[in-house]
Structure 1
Amino acid sequence: MRTGKLLVAAVLTVSALTVPGASTTITEQAYTGRIDRPQYEFAPPDTVLRPGLPGDVGLDPAPLRAAEQFVTDWTKPDPATGHPHFAGAVGILAHDGVIVDETVAGGALRYADAAGAELPPAQQVPMRADTIFDMASITKLFTSLAVMQLVEDGKVALDRPVAQYLPEFAANGKQSVTVRQLLTHTSGLAADPRPSLWQGYPDIPSRRKAVLDSPLTNQPGTTYLYSDINLMTLGFLVERLSGQPLDVVVRDRITQPLGMTDTAFNPPAEKLDRIAATEFQADPPRGMVRGQVHDENAWALGGVSGHAGIFSTAPDMAVLAQAILNGGAYRGARILRPETVRDMLTDYNQAFPGHAHGLGFELDQRFYMGALSAPTTAGHTGFTGTSLVIDPVSRSFAILLTNRVHPTRNWGSINPAREKWASALAEAM
């Protein structure tokens, strides 16, 4: 446990942790004897990731090696179940601009069916450092970034009703729901559309209408409830105000400027050999899903949705993480202003303990952030087995990408691996 950082969290407010120029007198005393030092400003915007050894930035390599072994072991059959926890994984750990650990284990394509019958070795595809993963709900971060770009452009105000921008969203009593409430999952909307989009509607226009017609289950602002509908709606808002499809906006304003060349919705067929397989689906009858989005609702929307659909690699996600640590810039490309990034990493859900949330980013979630968790630690997970943890105070990040739903979603939780991976970096400090 990072006792120094937790002491800082106990004696300083969130704003003091995030606003440049905050006093460091107390924290300097709290961190006496520690290898790393807390940071109260973003990393220099010209910080570019480079490979290095843990010792180059004062880290103990032993916890990192132990985490590597843990991840590798989880790709091997467990004696109790006869199957691994996940088919394969790619992980990156970075501190102060230096990638101190990269691990690759298991297979990107390993199974033939939902029962877990392994393919012949010649037909299996091993994981590699640049394997492309279905990022699932980490897509929500890209949608949130696109929304905040519109805020910077003066096209969106966070506390105005969504219906001001999407009049049809006002249906079924939603006229007072704000943009901020969608970003923080306090809108009052249900978790998912019911019936699911692929089951209940004949085409994409009717499915989009079903999302916008969704009724409230709680009064806006009274309850935290994680909801895919929130980010689906924000994806539609981005499209309406930009005049471009969401995938085009994300490409033109986020991934292309940052040089994230393997990050996109609906990846092209020529990259299929690098894409990790996900689930064998019988209902809907899709067979082994590979190269198409796993999430059924995103699939029913053509693979592009505000809540799911992005594919990416660990190296590309490392660039995004460092851009956040740099205050919204990387290699000369700025996607957001520093004050906007700071706003995204501020907890607006203090009324809902345990559900700390910025604008799109989850905050302080120990179940996957492990010992890196603190009031300003930001990140997100994806149902397919992905996770991203960004710690501004130590200028560090942890990325673990797995295809844990390959060949089935029923092999259990991988949260212990997520936590172990992130905690290793904290322990190394």
Structure 2
Amino acid sequence: MRAAVLAGATVLALLASVAPAAAGDAARFDQPRRGFSPAGTELRDSSPRAAGLDPAPVREALAAVERGTREGGADASGTSRPLFSGAVTVMATGGEVVAREATGWALRYADGQGTELPRDQWEPVTEDTVFDMASVSKLFTSVVVMQQVEAGRVDLDEPVATYLPEFAAGGKEGVTVRHLLTHTGGLPAWLPLWSAYPDPGSRLRAALEATPVGAPGEQYLYSDLGLIALGALVERVSGDPLDALVAEGVTGPLGMVDTGYNPTGDVRDRAAATEHQTTPPRGMVRGEVHDENAWALGGVSGHAGVFSTARDMSVLAQAMLDGGTYAGERILSRSSVEQMLADENREFPGDAHGLGFELDQRWYMGALSGPRTAGHTGYTGTSLVLDYQSGSFAVLLTNRVHPSRSWGSVNAVRRAVADGLARALRVPPREGRTAWATPTTDATTSTLTAAVEVPARGGRLAFDLFVDTEATDVLALETSADGGATWSPLPFDVRDRGVVTRTDGTVAGAGHRTWWQASTRLPAGDLLLRWRYTTDAGEQGRGVLVDGVVARSGGQVLLDGERRPGAFTGVGWRTVRG
């Protein structure tokens, strides 16, 4: 077990293995699972209540998505615009799909300035609308790379130039396959391949021969060029094109019938429109990849080009949660999936990354974020979040670049979807029927206060504590001896599975998802105790819960939160039931 000392507002980062939750605890946030979901888990329609979830946060998340189709963005002139034209949202836990909702429009605009088509020409988003996945395509490339590793054709720690000799140009001889999967190869983020080179062959050569901007392994720099190279690598070692490898190794076995590159026929007809492009002069892009470089490479590239539906992406999500298998079809071994989920970038705090998967990125994973939360986003407005600790996933597909890429970011809505699923997962009281919980709003200070008379011999305070916040959202335990005129921090100990750590009176952070037992000494006097929770203007976690508060002096009970809940005054805090 590893533990980081709680100093100031630093979390107790207990990342030890936790016993798997029982099947009946699938809807629990406070009983993190180890490993993968139970073998044979398949998706089935359900509802939040039937799955044991709180329906309210799910409704709030879907409402946030719907609002995004009406408001939240602005064009270059400052005119109010929707964040995105349309969206499909899927939320699931334990294989139970608790939400699947389409909203907005697959086609709404006539040009990049936001001129609307005649109302009878608007096309609604439906559950089978096909979306340009943009950089979520990188996950498909990464899976194919791992399949080539399993086949013995690729070694993760072998230089890429072993397989693509031309890649060595510019001093990249030491860049390995692992470096490219983790975006630590020192490659530039991007090059204008579509405009600077005349044909697909010269564009691919330019990507492979690009001069690095840093040494391998020395920095994290998200790079499309690295995934373009990996797409070329798997083609070279297998002798098959990337789109065929994805079809034969991923979408075909999983029955993802609407997923692939360069859609045709009915699939293309169901594609959501993306951007109206004038440079290059493509007009309203629909059914062709939005990314200019992928388009200029023929629509099939390691970094972009995949089209899919929310249904198909849900199947891929469940297959990865299940350790690489779905409906009896295995696309990766469990050990390969484990490798993809292990943080390779511990030297680069904030940029946790596995082999292809981003990890623990609260900016879009919201309250689901943790060391075993994986996913990816796409520039067109797509995102996938897999939470292994609860066996849950969230898919959000939007066409946020329709008709312009400049109307706003969808990150707040991405977080809202992940937050909704996380907060719907239960954290029952540790003692009795109710517990106190913090609000889930930004830029807020909330307090939970109780009075206690401590005799001359002093006393002790004990309580149960659940903390899942971002590092800048802080819970402080404080005491006042002058009726609340002034407050002082009250340091306390926390015990988690036998490990005791001393705090300075404040805690924050995420990842553990377990109840702690907290205790401290109380000085003599007529005191006020206060749990004060302060959030900043940005992201949040699942929140803080306090339960089972008891103050004693010798054999005398001074305060009992279970027997006398009315002794507490909550400002912003609310009671929650099991």
> TM-score, normalised on structure 1?
0.92
Which residue number corresponds to residue 165 of structure 1? 163
- Secondary structure of the residue aligned to 1:63 is helix
Alignment of 1:333-412 (within 5 A): 333-412=329-408
Checking the alignment, whether the CA contact within 8 Å between 2:29 and 2:390 is kept in structure 1 is: no
Verify: 1:217 aligned to 2:220, yes or no: no
Matches within 5 A, 1:147-186: 147-186=145-184
Helix, strand or coil at the partner of 2:246 = helix
Aligned partners of 1:64 and 1:428 also within 8 Å = yes
Cα displacement (A) at 1:316: 0.2
Identity fraction in percent: 59
Q: Deviation at 1:112?
A: 0.3
The answer as to 2:62 corresponding to 1:64 is: no
- Compared CA separation, residues 87 and 9, structure 1 to 2 (3 A): farther
Query: Is 1:24 aligned with 2:19?
Result: yes
Query: Structure 2 matches for 1:122-161, cutoff 5 A?
Result: 122-161=120-159
Aligned to 2:283: 287
Q: Residue 57 of structure 1: CA displacement?
A: 2.0
Partner of 1:19: none
Please state if 1:416 is matched with 2:412. Answer: yes
What SS class does the counterpart of residue 54 from structure 1 fall into?
coil
CA apart distance, 1:269? 3.4
Name 1:52's counterpart in structure 2: 46
CA distance, structure 2, for counterparts of residue 340 and residue 56 of structure 1: 33
Contact in 2 for aligned 1:372/1:425 (Cα 8 Å): yes
User: 1:9/1:214 Cα in 2 relative to 1: closer, same or farther (>3 Å)?
Assistant: farther
Q: Report the CA distance between 1:70 and its aligned residue.
A: 1.1
Equivalent AA in structure 2 for residue 67 of structure 1: A
Alignment partner for residue 316 of structure 1, among 297, 305, 312? 312
Please give the alpha-carbon distance, in whole angstroms, between the structure 1 residues aligned to 2:291 and 2:73. Answer: 30
For the pair shown, the structure with the greater C-alpha radius of gyration is 2
Distance in 2 separating the partners of 1:9 and 1:241: 45
Deviation at 1:12, TM superposition (A): 2.1
1:20 is matched with none
Contact 1:35 1:59 (8 Å CA) reproduced: no
How far apart, CA to CA, are the structure 2 residues paired with 1:139 and 1:283?
23
Aligned partner letter, 1:219: A
Match of residue 76, structure 1, among 70, 75, 81: 70
Measure the CA separation in 2 of the matches of 1:143 and 1:114.
Answer: 31
Other structure's SS at 1:280 match: strand
| Partner Cα separation in structure 1 for residue 410 and residue 303 of structure 2 | 21
Closer, same or farther: CA 322–156 of 1 in aligned 2, 3 Å: same
8 Å CA contact 2:135–2:379 kept in 1: the answer is yes
Q: Structure 1 CA distance, aligned partners of 2:264 and 2:285?
A: 15
**For residue 329 of structure 1, what is the amino acid of its counterpart?**
T
Alignment match of 2:199 (pick from 203, 208, 232): 203
Counterpart position of 1:11:
14
**Contact 1:276 1:290 survives alignment (8 Å):** yes
* Cα deviation 1:182-204 (Å, max 9, x = unaligned): 000000000012xx111111111
The answer (yes or no) to whether the contact 1:9–1:375 under 8 Å persists in 2 is no
Distance 1:242 1:35, change over 3 A: closer
CA RMSD of aligned residues (A): 1.9
Counterpart of 1:103 in structure 2 is 101
> 1:281-337 CA deviation, whole Å, 9 max, x = no partner?
000000000000000000000000000000000000000000001100001110000
What is the one-letter code of the residue matched to 1:150? Q
**Contact residue 36 and residue 58 of structure 1 kept, 8 A:** no
Aligned to 1:3: none
Which of residues 91, 110, 113 in structure 2 aligns to 1:112? Answer: 110
Q: Is the 8 A contact 1:77 1:84 kept in 2?
A: yes
Please report how far the alpha carbon of residue 82 of structure 1 lies from its aligned counterpart in structure 2 after TM superposition. Answer: 2.6
Aligned equivalents of 2:66, 2:38: Cα separation in 1 = 34
CA contact (8 A) 2:70 2:81 kept: yes
How far residue 78 of structure 1 moved from its aligned partner, in angstroms, is: 5.0
Shift of 1:123: 1.1
Please give the per-residue CA displacement for 1:359-389, whole angstroms capped at 9, x wherever unaligned: 0000000010000000110000000000000
Give the 3-state SS of the residue equivalent to 2:106 in structure 1: strand
Paired AA for residue 89 in structure 1: A
- 1:17-71 superposed Cα distances (whole Å, 9 cap, x missing partner): xxxxxx539x99xx9x956632112112311100001122210000000111111
Paired letter, 1:66: E
One-letter amino acid of the structure 2 residue matched with residue 60 of structure 1: D
Q: Structure 2 CA distance, aligned partners of 1:395 and 1:60?
A: 16
2:49 partner SS: helix
SS at match of 1:409: coil
Deviations 1:235-282 (A, max 9, x none): 000100110110000001100000000000000033333100000000
Task: Indicate if the aligned counterparts of 1:166 and 1:237 stay in contact, CA closer than 8 A.
Answer: yes
The structure in which a higher percent of residues are strand is 2
- Number of positions where the alignment pairs a residue of Structure 1 with one of Structure 2: 409
Please say if residues 9 and 374 of structure 1, whose CA atoms lie closer than 8 Å, have aligned partners that are also in contact.
no
CA distance, structure 2, for counterparts of residue 352 and residue 41 of structure 1:
25
Cα deviations by residue, 1:334-375 (Å, 9 ceiling, x for unpaired): 000011101100000000000000000000000100000001
Q: 1:250 aligns with which of 246, 251, 274?
A: 246
Moved runs in structure 1, 4+ residues, more than 2 A?
33-37, 77-82, 269-273
Give CA deviations for 1:403-427 in whole Å, capped at 9, x if unaligned.
Answer: 0000000101110000000110000
Does the aligned pair in 2 maintain the 1:95–1:394 contact within 8 Å?
A: yes
**Amino acid in structure 2 at the alignment position of 1:327:** G
- 2:373–2:386 CA contact under 8 A, matched in 1: yes
Q: List aligned pairs for 1:320-335, cutoff 5 A.
A: 320-335=316-331
Unaligned runs of 5+ in 2: 1-9, 426-578
Amino acid at match of 1:108: A
Displacement after TM superposition at 1:79 (Å) = 9.2
| Structure 1 residues 235 and 123, CA gap change in structure 2 (3 angstroms) | same
SS of the counterpart of 1:289? strand
- 3-state DSSP class of the match of 1:278? strand
Structure 1 counterpart of 2:260: 264
Q: Relative to total residues, which structure has the larger helix share, 1 or 2? A: 1
The alignment's TM-score, normalised by the length of structure 2, stands at 0.69
The correspondence for 1:87, drawn from 85, 88, 92, is 85
- Residue 188 of structure 1 aligns with which residue? 186
**C-alpha separation between the residues in 2 aligned to 1:9 and 1:305?**
42
The aligned amino acid for 2:280 is: P
